[in-house]
Amino acid sequence: MLRVHLTFDVEVWCPGWGHLDETFPTAFERYVWGRSAAGNYGLPRNLDILRQHGLRAVFFVEPLFSLRFGQRYLQTIVDLIMDAGQEVQLHLHPEWVDEIQPPLIPNTASKRQHLTDYDLPEQVALLSQAKAALEVAAGRPVSAFRSGGYAVNRQTYAALSVAGISVDSSLNATFDRTAGSLGANHSLLQRRVIDGIDVHPVTVFRDGRGRLRHLQVGACGFQEMRQVLDCAWVAGLSDVVLVSHNFELLKPGGAQPDRIVERRFDALCGHLARHTDRFQVVGFDGLAPAAAAPAGARPGLLAAGMLATGLRLGAQALRRVL
The per-residue pLDDT for range 297-311, each reduced to its tens digit, is 455 689 888 988 888
User: Whole-angstrom Cα distance, residue 95 to residue 114?
Assistant: 7
Per DSSP, helices labelled H in the chain are: 20-28, 43-53, 66-69, 71-83, 120-138, 154-163, 222-235, 259-274, 306-321
Whether 125 shows a pLDDT value over 50: the answer reads yes
What average pLDDT does this structure show over 215-222? Answer: 96
**Strand, helix or coil at 11?**
coil
- Under 8 Å CB-to-CB from 45, ≥6 apart: which residues? 34, 39, 249, 257, 262
Phi, then psi, of 151 in degrees rounded to 5:
-100, 105
In this prediction, residue 316 carries a pLDDT of 76
In this prediction, residue 217 carries a pLDDT of 97
pLDDT digits (tens, 9 = 90+) for 285-301: 988 876 545 444 455 68
User: Whole-angstrom Cα distance, residue 264 to residue 189?
Assistant: 24
Fold of the 2-203+236-257+280-292 domain: TIM Barrel (3.20.20)
In this prediction, residue 14 carries a pLDDT of 95
In this prediction, residue 296 carries a pLDDT of 45
**Strand, helix or coil at 273?**
helix
Which among 305, 302, 304 has a CA at the least distance from the CA of 190?
Answer: 302
Long-range pairs, 292-300, Cβ under 8 A, ≥24: 292/192, 292/193, 293/187, 293/190, 293/191, 293/192, 293/193, 295/185, 296/185, 297/187, 297/190, 297/192, 298/187, 298/189, 298/190, 299/187, 299/189, 299/190, 299/235, 299/237, 300/235
Whether 29 shows a pLDDT value over 80: the answer reads yes
